Every structure is written in C-alpha cells, then in structure tokens.
Amino acid sequence: MNSKLYLLACFCFTIAFTSCEQKAVEPQTFNMKLWYKEPAKASVTDDPNGWNDDAEWLKGLPMGNGAFGAVVFGDVHKERIQLNEESMWSGSENDNNNPDAFPALGKIRELLYEGKYKEATELTNATQICKGVGSGYGSGANVPFGCFQTLGDLWIDFENKQPYENYHRELDLEDAVSRIQYTQDGVNYTREVFVSHPDQLMVIKLTADQAGKLSFNSSMSRPEHAQIHVENDQLIMEGTMTDGKEGEGLNYMVRLSAVNKNGDLSYTDDKLVVKNADEVTLLLTASTDYVLDYPKYKGRPYKDLTQTHLQNGKQTSYEDLLKRHVTDYQQYYKRVDLSLTSNLRDTIPTDVRLQNFKTSTTDLHLVELLFQYGRYLLISSSRPGTLPANLQGIWANKVQTPWNGDYHTDVNVQMNYWPAETTNLGEMHLPLFDLTKTLQTPGSETAKVHYNSDGWVVHPITNVWGYTSPGEGASWGMHVTGGAWLTSHIMEHYYFTLDKAFLKDTYPILKTSTQFYMDWLVEDKLTSALVSGPSVSPENTFIAPDGSKCQISMGPSHDQQVIWQLFKNFIDASNALEIDDEFVQQVTVAQERLAKPKIGADGRLMEWNEAFEEVEPGHRHISHLFGLHPGYQIDVEETPELAAAAKKSLDFRIANGGGHTGWSAAWLINQYARLGEAENALHGLEMVLQKSTNPNLFTSHPPFQIDANFGTTAGIAEMLLQSQSGSIRLLPALPKSWANGSYKGLCARGGFVVDITWEAGIPVDVKVFSKEGGECTLEFKGQKITFDTEKGKAYFPIKEQNPFGAISGE
C-alpha cells in the first residue's frame, strides 16, 4: 500500500460505520499543471480559412471567467493573447420557419408507410427544411444565423529582442493562473495572467528582477470591424458586427489600461507604451451589448460596464485581485480530487506526455490532468448568468469559426454539460437552462408553422438568436428531438440536487416540450405504437430497399428513446411536485405506447424502425444508444438483453472505424462505462488522447471542438461512479491499470457526494455525504448495501466489515 492510501485507510478504520460531519483526509495529488518548455509562436499568422486549425494557437493556454476568454501564447519577444467574449456573435434574430412544411407533412408520412423512402426523403428536402440559408452550411458569419467570433488580439511587443533561456510556461489548474518565466541578458522575467470572475477583467502582471528592465508597446487588433483610439489613459478597441442582413449587429468594446512601478507609461494613438519599468500590471475589460432575451437580444450597457470594471480593477491591488480570483475559482475546482497515481512530482512537459502517450498509454497522470482540465474548462466557459459553452467553449481565434461555433443540439452542446453534475459543478449547468428557456417562444412558433403543434421544438442547431427551425439539409437538419434532449438536462440537475424550487421554476419548459411530442407522435399503421417522424437518426444514412441512400423514416430509435426519457422526466417531475392531472395521465399512457428499442437479426440494437443497412457502419453518431447513455432506458441490470444488443452495436461501430472524431470517441467512453465494459471505456479514452488531443489538451474533431474535453471528463467520472439506475454503483467500469486510486467529491443522483479509496480494484474506504437525506444504496459488482441518511451528514458504510472485500477485483 502506498503511504497516502495507508494513511487514509488508518483514518477510516478508526471511525467505523458511523455518521459524522468529519472530513476525510485530503489525498495528496501532484500539481495539476499543463506546462511546456517552449512558447507557442505568436509570429505565425492564423490560417485565414476558419475550418483549418492553427497549430500555434492550439499550443496556447486557454483562460476564462465564463464570459471572457483568452488564449495565452507565452511568446518571449512579442506576446500574443488572443481574446474572446462569449457574445461576440454576428447575425441577428431571423424568421427561418418554412410555411411549406406543414401542408406536406401528411404526404411524407404516407410515403414512408408505403416504403417509398427515396420519395419521402426528397419531399422532406423540398418542404421541411428551413426557409433561407439557415446556418450557411456552418459558415454563417455573414448571414443572419451569424457566427461566434474572435474578439481580437492583445499584443505585447518587448523592446528586448535578445535570445532567452530557462523558459517555462504553465497553466495551473489549481488556481487558474498562467505563468511564464525566462531569462534574457541575465534578467529573470515573469508574467502572470488570470481572468477574474469576481472582478470581470483580465489581469497580466509583468515583472523583471532588475530595476528598469521592462520596456514594451502594447496594442490590440481584430481582423475586421475594429477601431482603436486612446481616451483617459485607456486604449480602446470597439466596433459593430454585421447583423447578416447588411445592417449593423452587436456592438462591442475592449478597454486596456496599465499600472506601472517606476519607469514611464504613456499612450499614443494606438499603443500603450512602457519604458524602463520595474513591474507593470495590464488590465483589460470587454463586453458587447448582447442580452439573452428573445427577440430583442440587445441592451447591455457595455460601455459603462467595461469602464466600471476597469476603474475598479485599477483601484485594487494586484494581490487582492489575485486573491479574489483564486478564492472564487477554487470554491468550485477544489470540490473534486482524482488520484490514479502515487507519484508526487510531474517532471515531463505536457506536450511531451501527450506525444509519449501515442506509443505507451501507461501515463495515468495525463488521465488525471485531462479529467481536471475538463472541469477547469467548464468553470472557465460557463458560469451562472453567462451563455452556455459553445462548440469551442468560449475560445475561437477567427471570424468564421467552424460550424459557426454554435450550439449543436444533436449531441454536442449536451456533451459539454455531461460532466456538470457528476463532477460537482452543478452551478455551471445553469446557463444551458437559461438558453433553453429563451428557445421556448421561437420554438413554439416553429412548432406551429412546421407541424401545427402545440409546445416548442428545437432541431439540431441553435444560436444566440433563438434559431429553432430545421437545418438547411434534411439529412442532418430534420432532427426533431433537440428540444427534448435539452430538457433532459433540466431533470438531470434536479435528480442530482433534488432542488424543488428549481424544478417548479423549470416545470413549464418540461411540460411544453412534452406537449409538443404528444402532438407530434403518430400511430404506426402496423403496430399502433406511437412513433416520431418524419425524422432522421442524427446525421446517419441508410440504404432503402430500392438501394437508394436515404435519411428520413418513421420512428428512428433515437427519437423514440429521447421521447421516452422526456416522458419519464416529465412524469417524475410531476410526481415530485405532486401534480397528477389529466395531462400527466395521458403522458403516462403515451410513454407505454411508444415504439420501444428493437434488436435486429444480427443481435444489434436497431437504429431505425426497420432493419436497414447503414451506408457508413462506423458512423460517428451513436444516437440509437441514447437510452444507454445519457438516457436511462437501457441498463445492464434492468434490461440485460437490450444492454447486450447495445454492446454489439458499439463493438460493430468500432470494428468499422467508429470513434474517429473526438466527441464520438468520448461518447464511447461513457457508453461502454454504462455497460460496465472497463477496458473498452479505457480504449475510448486512449483514442481521445492518442488521436484527438492538441498540445494544449483542447480536443479535436478535427478541427478543434471542445465537446470531447467535456465528454471525456464525464466519461472518466462515469467509469468511477454511476447512479442512473437507482443505486450508486461504485467503480462500475474500473480498468485493470487503475487498480489503486482514490477520488473525492463526485456526485450521485439523490443528492449524494462520494469519496472513495480502492485497492486492487476493491473499495477499501467509502464516504457518502448526504445533501438532502433519504435512503442510499451502494452497489459494487452486483452486491448492494442500503442505509438511511440524514440531510447534511456523512456516512462511512464499509468500515470494520467491508461487504465488498470478499469480491474479486478481477
């Protein structure tokens, strides 16, 4: 036993099976840092094509406070800090609903019942897709859909262009500070950068260990729509983006100012100039006039806000700014520890670790790092009151971001939030619900125009302008369960927190989403089961009996499972709020009548209602296993046949090249974890690290897409703790190579927080903290123990007699 495990075990055995408020011993972990011996090169210009990654930017270190983001290059002679503000969106509110849709709906369903898939797919393309150009095929910077864009760059051009040595840069995940140090001409220079949530600004402190050695010019730039001027000791960059209709869109402003120790500080027309200072602190604030409020979306006092935050920052000492930042950040970050290794020092730079991992996957510290990095990124890109994290979180370095950096609702934005509850960051989940709320009104307009239905609907994409229409191609755009999938997150938050006030507040969203699908579902002519359609199984194509390649059908398994989950959630929410009206009863009946997952002749879970062959057997979407993960419909214990079929489907996908995009591999981790398939889950994780991770640990589709960061963190948590089935499954998918370890602070449904230490694959110490009271069932390899809990108390249920001790770790 290594010393930290021994300490923990001793501590726990003295407590026995008691409830108490005592804290478990903090496990020692080694510093959670991304660190490098080389800078990212600021002199390399970005590729003008937004779809191409920029290798140097992907070496930069991302920072953020939920709304403001920065990527720090750490270059010595000329520093580049690329800037983001989450609402830097071009475009504007726009009506994309298609009045031709509803009149053709019945005909498409008839064609599908007649087995005329080709004709049905063609008619869907002709009538059901959005009006206008929609998202502009993912390149919508200049159309109304718009695009999430860079805010520009901050440059710090140092006078000293001499060679340097002793270079080191890092991002410390434990305090969310980036540090750079190097030596030039015998002078030791340092930079410290952080983005403060409490003070709403970015702070950059530059020092030299000899007097008067800091001389530089600082400037700002943006590829378009930017004016620079100086006003009252501030360098200001401002502009107006396009609304996509040849008019003016959102306005933005960035303010930069500095505080110097000795030397001279001055402002020219477009620069801040420092000469011979000992130390300088740069402060930067930014905002737009965006407001998340359909249909106006404007009105934030962005000029005043940036001014106030900058002035307040200038009047506060660097030490106080740093202290407030660290305190604020750590209240979230410190809730969870994960230890898979017993080493205490990290001597290998992160990019080297990543490179080594391609040939040897034994580096468990890299796994710990990637896990905590996902939590860091969520805290940095999604805070209460901000917009949700988009396809790139809040980090994008160009004007045209791939897929507009939007919210894809057929897995991607949901994946961003998979780790929120399990890794103890429930507050960071709230922005997703705020966005969902604002989609109700435009979504009900779309439901009316397209389907003459009540309730509201969202298709596979949305943006900050309330876009809810289908996409511009039926093959992917006719995904009708985006709204239902979004609302499942509301219930996840409730299942984890049991927060009734929250549930009461959000119940209308669940109810109106349920209303839509109650209207939308139709009876299958043959079986009279309720089916969804015409629709797609996200982005996948099948071969119809006549040999044609089609996407549109009735009752794709994905829709059926998402709607099943929505109805379950709605029924659970109604029960929790003691609502039992006629509508709840109708939904209960309808849930029973839904067409259920089916197993094909080859033993796989069927993706469509009929046994079609898929065009791409290794397709990246694994949507027909929604019921396995993130849904609850398929479970190893409750529905073992379906679980076995799900496993066959997964194995088949992989055997045919599946998991080739980052997020797809990340989903595999979660799905295999739910099946208790530890080694396969680990394989998914290794795929993410080997094929889909950049030097700064941003994951990749390619191009860069952040969902796999979040999906991987969630997947690791899912391997270590699950609670979707009613009991708390301890170490449900623990790979052999993770034989010894510990974690603290992972969350389970029912309001429980779990700390655990395991040896040779067996739990040797478990602490369960009960936030809300109630019965708790722990499960390990099928063996269960149940005990009652009281709100606010901790339990150590396996002390003197470990009921799991007799179980083999194999």
What is the smallest separation between the CB atom of 584 and ligand FUC, expressed in angstroms? 33
Q: What phi and psi, each to the nearest 5 degrees, are found at residue 365?
A: -65, -35
Q: Which of 403, 564, 632, 804 binds ligand FUC (CB under 6 A)?
A: 403
Name which of residues 510 to 539 contact ligand FUC (CB under 6 A): 539
* Binding segment (CB under 6 A) for ligand FUC, from list 371-379, 406-414, 441-449, 639-647: 406-414
Q: DSSP character for 403?
A: G
**Angle formed at CA 557 by CA 446 and CA 647, multiple of 5 degrees:** 140
Rounded least distance, CB 136 to ligand FUC, Å: 14
Q: ∠ CA(411), CA(417), CA(420), 5° rounding?
A: 155
Q: How far is the CB of 480 from ligand FUC (least distance, A)?
A: 15
Report the residue number, 329 or 663, with the smaller CB distance to ligand FUC.
663
User: What is the pattern of x (binds ligand FUC, CB under 6 A) and - over residues 171-210?
Assistant: ----------------------------------------
As measured in angstroms, the least distance from the Cβ of 505 to ligand FUC is 30
Closest distance between ligand FUC and the C-beta of residue 711, in Å? 11
Q: Does 410 bind ligand FUC (CB under 6 A)?
A: yes
Measured from the CB atom, is 280 or 666 closer to ligand FUC? 666
C-alpha distances out from residue 303 to 198, 253, 257, 287, 306, Å:
18, 7, 15, 8, 5
Q: Residues 701, 729, 749, 771: which binds ligand FUC (CB under 6 A)? A: 701
Closer CB to ligand FUC, 65 or 661, in the complex = 661
Smallest gap from Cβ 542 to ligand FUC, in A, equals: 16
**Helix crossing, 430-451 with 101-113: angle to 10°?**
80
- Taking phi first (over 0 means left), then psi (-120 to 50 degrees means alpha), and beta for anything else, what does residue 50 get? alpha
The nearer residue to ligand FUC, 260 or 392, going by C-beta atoms, is 392
Of residues 133 and 529, the one with the C-beta less far from ligand FUC = 133
Find the part of the chain contacting ligand FUC (CB under 6 A) among 266-274, 408-416, 519-527, 691-699.
408-416
In the complex, what is the shortest distance from the CB of residue 168 to ligand FUC, in angstroms, rounded to a whole number? 35
> DSSP state, 139?
-
Q: Which of 461, 486, 443 is nearest to 133 (CA)?
A: 461
Q: Which range, of 187-195, 402-410, 525-533, 679-687, touches ligand FUC by CB under 6 A?
A: 402-410
DSSP states of 444-461 as a string?
Answer: HHHHHHHH--SS----SE
Choice from 96, 372, 412, 712 touching ligand FUC (CB under 6 A): 412
789 close to 776: Cβ distance less than 8 angstroms: yes
Compute the least distance from the CB of residue 670 to ligand FUC, in Å: 16
Based on the shown chain and the rule CB under 6 A, indicate whether residue 325 belongs to the binding site for ligand FUC.
no
CB 806 within 8 A of CB 782: no
Q: How far is the CB of 240 from ligand FUC (least distance, A)?
A: 28
Footprint on residues 702-731 left by ligand FUC (CB under 6 A): 705
Residue closer to ligand FUC by CB (options 626, 804) is 626
Question: For residues 620 and 771, which CB has a smaller minimum distance to ligand FUC in the complex?
Answer: 620
The vertex-727 CA angle with 801 and 665, nearest 5°, equals: 115
CA angle at residue 324 from 319 to 330, to 5 degrees?
120
Dist CA 468 CA 484 (whole Å):
13
Closer residue to ligand FUC in complex, CB, 429/621: 621
Query: Cβ 707 to ligand FUC, closest distance in Å?
Result: 7
**Per CB under 6 A, 418 contacts ligand FUC:** no
Residue closer to ligand FUC by CB (options 346, 559) is 559
Helix (H) / strand (E) containing 99: none
Residues 652-671 that bind ligand FUC (CB under 6 A): 661, 663
Instruction: Give dist(CA 406, CA 415) in Å, integer.
Output: 14
CB of 628 to ligand FUC, least distance (A): 19
Cβ(206)–Cβ(282) below 8 Å: yes
* Nearest alpha-carbon partner for 514 in 553, 536, 486: 486
Residue closer to ligand FUC, measured from CB, 620 or 653: 620
Q: Per CB under 6 A, which region of 176-184, 358-366, 407-415, 571-579 contacts ligand FUC?
A: 407-415
Cβ proximity to ligand FUC, 372 vs 414, nearer residue: 414
Distance CA 476, CA 439 (A): 20
Does residue number 80 form part of the binding site for ligand FUC (CB under 6 A)?
Answer: no
Place of tokens 């903090």: 26
Site size with ligand FUC, rule: CB under 6 A: 12
Half-sphere exposure of 39 (CA within 13 A, CB side): 23
Determine phi and psi for 733, rounding to 5 degrees: -145, 60
- Residue number with CB closer to ligand FUC (196 or 481): 481
Q: Which residues pair with 168 in a beta bridge?
A: 181
Nearest distance, CB of residue 410 and ligand FUC, angstroms: 6
Touching ligand FUC, residues 621-640 (CB under 6 A): 621
d(CA 802, CA 804): 5
- Closest to ligand FUC by CB, 460 vs 761, is 460
The 10 Å Cβ neighbour count of residue 308 is: 13
How far is the C-alpha of 720 from the C-alpha of 594, rounded, in Å?
Answer: 33
Closest separation between CB of residue 461 and ligand FUC, Å? 8
Spatial distance between the Cα atoms of 709 and 690, rounded to a whole number of angstroms: 13
Nearer to ligand FUC, 560 or 661 (CB): 661
Q: CA 311, 317, 319, 324 torsion: positive or negative?
A: negative
**Beta strand spans in 129-247 (E):** 152-158, 165-172, 177-184, 187-196, 201-208, 214-221, 227-231, 234-242
Half-sphere exposure of 319 (CA within 13 A, CB side): 0
Per the CB < 8 A criterion, the answer to whether 98 and 130 are in contact is yes
Give the pair of three-digit tokens for residue 511: 């109810």
Residue 499 CA neighbour count, 13 Å, CB half: 15
Kindly state the smallest distance separating residue 138's Cβ from ligand FUC, in Å.
7
Using CB under 6 A, pick the residue from 80, 408, 674, 744 that binds ligand FUC. Answer: 408
Residue 93 gets which letter from DSSP? -
Residues 583-622 that bind ligand FUC (CB under 6 A): 620-621
Maximum pairwise Cα distance, the chain: 85
Q: Is 391 in the site for ligand FUC (CB under 6 A)?
A: yes
Q: For strand 227-231 and strand 234-242, is the pairing parallel, antiparallel, or unpaired?
A: antiparallel
CB of 479 to ligand FUC, least distance (A): 9
CB of 661 to ligand FUC, least distance (A): 5
Binding segment for ligand FUC (CB under 6 A), chosen from 231-239, 363-371, 404-412, 595-603, is 404-412
List contacts with ligand FUC (CB under 6 A). 391, 403, 408, 410, 412, 539, 620-621, 661, 663, 701, 705
